[in-house]
């Protein structure tokens, strides 16, 4: 028996079931059980999740149950995890990443960002997305939106917003890829650290589960995601800071692109680095230092 812990949202359950199916294919004699664990974000949706300093609101309780052996494996969206996880835990596997880009979903005829009219109201709960959208289209109006993917799509359909921004990965995993009007390219909008990737978290020393999940690890994704997490950690941002980063393979090396911006999009600092895979974390740290020295530290200081 392998007990998998996850949040109870439709997307979280879809991700957990995907992991269970992949593990069952590798280990057909093992029974899989999925256990729903309610997190701080689920218990108090009105909490300051978007406060830039909030950390772990989507994962803390799941990690506690994992440490107490109430579950054997935790499945998270990587971007929900704080940059430091408990000492007693580790990543057993980081599977191959889904599409890391953001999606703009609007009404009929919205096939490019420029198709939105001036003054269009765009729903997003992310300061990172808000800053980059305003840098591209200072004439639109980002407004806060809450709820899961389906709730946000219903609010869009009800006319509360002219468009919403969601992660392509979540829409793909829910079978809602047909709803995507515009896939925002990385040159337009860098994603959150770890966006599109899953984290399979295990207890250190649990050789049974570690061996079981090892076959789901994708080394290229793991290298990229660990570099992105190092960048965020070095920048000192919270889970909803106006910080973005994306790493990907490039001709045998790793391209890392990082960004920090004012929430209103009036000042946006962006730079990149190319390095061998073995030095991706060190290169991400150096890129963060470069952006902090170029004015990023001042931007982040003004938000505290």
Query: pLDDT tens digit string along 142-185?
Result: 999 999 999 999 999 999 999 999 999 999 999 999 999 999 99
Range of the domain at 87: 2-95+197-217
The count of C-alpha atoms lying within 13 angstroms of the C-alpha of 261, restricted to the half-sphere facing its C-beta, is 28
List helix spans (H) across 68-148.
127-136
pLDDT mean over 86-91: 97
From 80, 99, 102, 206, the catalytic residue: 80
Same domain, 180 and 234: no
Asked whether the predicted pLDDT for residue 8 surpasses 60, the reply is: yes
pLDDT band at residue 44 using 50, 70 and 90 as cut-offs? low
Average pLDDT along the chain: 93
Same domain, 203 and 123: no
Asked whether the predicted pLDDT for residue 50 surpasses 50, the reply is: no
The percent of residues above 70 in pLDDT, for the chain, comes to 95
Whose structure tokens read 């190319």?
274
pLDDT band at residue 41 using 50, 70 and 90 as cut-offs? confident
Is residue 266 situated within a structural domain? yes
Residue 31: closest CA among 49, 4, 13: 4
pLDDT at 239: 64
Is 289 a known active-site residue? no
Same domain, 82 and 17: yes
* Residue partners of 262: CB distance under 8 A and separation at least 6: 131, 242, 268, 299, 302
pLDDT at 109: 83
Is residue 222 situated within a structural domain? no
Run of H or E including 43 = helix 40-43
pLDDT mean over 24-43: 90
What is the token pair recorded at 223? 């290298």
Same domain, 25 and 168: no
pLDDT at 52: 43
- Here the CATH number for the domain that contains residue 22 is 3.40.190.10
Whose structure tokens read 């690890």?
217
For the chain, the maximum distance between any two Cα atoms, rounded to a whole number of angstroms, is: 58
> Tens of pLDDT along 89-126?
999 999 999 999 999 999 878 889 999 999 999 999 99
């Amino acid at each position: 028996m392998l007990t998998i812990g996850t949040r109870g949202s439709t997307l979280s359950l879809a991700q957990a079931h995907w992991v269970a199916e992949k593990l069952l294919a590798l280990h057909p004699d093992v029974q899989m059980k999925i256990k729903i664990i309610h997190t701080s974000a689920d218990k108090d949706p009105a909490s300051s999740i978007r406060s830039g300093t909030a950390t772990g609101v989507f994962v803390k309780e799941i990690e506690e149950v994992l440490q107490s052996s109430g579950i054997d494996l935790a499945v998270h969206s990587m971007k929900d995890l704080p940059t430091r996880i408990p000492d007693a835990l580790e990543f057993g596997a980081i599977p191959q990443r889904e599409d890391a880009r953001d999606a703009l979903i609007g009404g009929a005829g919205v096939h490019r960002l420029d198709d939105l009219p001036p003054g269009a109201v765009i729903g997003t709960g992310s300061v990172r997305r808000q800053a980059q959208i305003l840098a591209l289209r200072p004439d639109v109006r980002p407004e806060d939106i809450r709820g899961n993917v389906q709730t946000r799509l219903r609010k869009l359909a009800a006319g509360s917003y002219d468009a919403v921004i969601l992660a392509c990965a979540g829409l793909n995993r829910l079978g809602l890829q047909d709803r995507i009007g515009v896939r925002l390219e990385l040159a337009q909008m860098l994603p959150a650290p770890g966006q599109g990737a899953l984290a399979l978290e295990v207890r250190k020393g649990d050789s049974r589960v570690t061996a079981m999940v090892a076959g789901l690890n994708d080394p290229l994704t793991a290298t990229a995601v660990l570099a992105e997490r190092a960048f965020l950690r070095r920048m000192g941002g919270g889970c909803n800071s106006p910080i973005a980063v994306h790493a990907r393979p490039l001709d045998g090396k790793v391209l890392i692109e990082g960004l920090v911006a004012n929430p209103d999009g009036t000042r946006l600092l962006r730079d990149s680095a190319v390095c061998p895979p073995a030095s991706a974390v060190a290169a991400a740290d150096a890129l963060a230092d470069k952006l902090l020295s170029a004015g990023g530290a001042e931007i982040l200081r003004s938000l505290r």
